[in-house]
Structure 1
C-alpha cells in the first residue's frame, strides 16, 4: 500500500476525512489545487472525485475548460495508481488521449479505472478515465497511459 493510499484510509476514517484528504492531496501536486478536487472514493483499480463548475475553471462560453477537466482526470488517475501500484514498483504518467464529447455545463464526476490484469507486469498501463455531468452525460473520456517499472534497490 502506498503512503498516499494509507493516508487516504487513515484520514477518511475521521469526521470530515474526505474533505481533509482532498485538501492534502491537492497540495501534493499543486496544479491539482486549480480544480479543487473533492475525493469521493479510492480503492485499487478505481478512483472517483468531483470538480465544481466555478468561475476559475470556466472558459469563454461558461463551461468547464477542457484542460481543467483533464486536470481532474489526471488527479483521479493518480489516486488510482497510488492505490493500485505494487509496493515494489513505481509509476509515472506517459501520455493522455481524450475525446471531448459534450459541453461540461455542471459539476463533474471524474473517474479512473483499470483491470487487475493491467498490473501483472511492468510497462505501459492504460487507465480508463471519464468526466461525467450531473445528468449522467459523459463529457470527456479517454485513456491516460502510465509507465510502471520496478523500484531501484
Structure 2
C-alpha cells in the first residue's frame, strides 16, 4: 500500500470499506493477521482499531496475551505514522515501552496518538499508545518511539 492513508480515506467512505481496508492492512504486514485488527479511525495524530478476544489470541488464563496486545498497539501506531508523516520523510519503529495495568478480559480498543509539535523536526517521535477494555479500563499503556528521517534523494 504505497499511500495507506489515502487508501483508508477512499475505502472508509464506502459500504464495508473499513472492513475491507482492515483485511488489506493485515495482509500487508502478515504478523498483524494473527490479531485480525478492525480499523475504526485513522487521521493525522490519531488511529484506533479493535482486537476481538478470541481463542487464538488468549493465553493460559483466558485473557488476551501481552504480545497480541502489543501487536495491536504497533498496528495502530503504524496507521497513525502513515497518516501523519510529512511528505518527504519516512519512519521506522525504534522502540516500545509498555506497562501492563489490568487483565485483558474483553475485546480491546487500541489507540495511538501524537501531538503536532512532535513532528516539527526529523528525529524521534513518541507515539502514545493504550489498549482499553470494553468497560473503559486501560489494560496496557506506553510509548512507541519511531524515528522519522528525510527520504533519500532519488
Give TM-score, length-normalised by structure 2. Answer: 0.98
Could you list the per-position Cα deviations for residues 106-152 of structure 1 after superposition, in whole angstroms to 9, with x for gaps in the alignment?
Answer: 00000000000000000000000000000000000000000000000
Q: Structure 2: which 5+ runs fail to align?
A: none
Aligned to 2:48: 48
State how 1:4-153 maps to structure 2 within 5 Å.
4-153=4-153
Q: How far apart, CA to CA, are the structure 2 residues paired with 1:73 and 1:25?
A: 14
Any idea what the Cα deviations from partners look like across 1:33-86, whole Å, max 9, x if unmatched? 000000000000000000000000000000000000000000000000000001
3-state DSSP class of the match of 1:14?
coil
* Deviation of the 1:87 alpha carbon: 1.2
The range that moved more, 45-54 or 2-11, is 2-11
TM-score normalised per structure 1: 0.98
Two-structure CA RMSD over aligned residues (Å): 0.6
In structure 2, distance between residues paired with 1:79 and 1:121: 20
Give the Å deviation of 1:14.
1.1
How far apart are residue 13 of structure 1 and its match? Answer: 1.2
Give 3-state SS (helix, strand or coil) of 2:96's partner.
strand
Measure the CA separation in 1 of the matches of 2:66 and 2:24.
Answer: 24
Cα distance in 2 for partners of 1:10, 1:87 equals 19
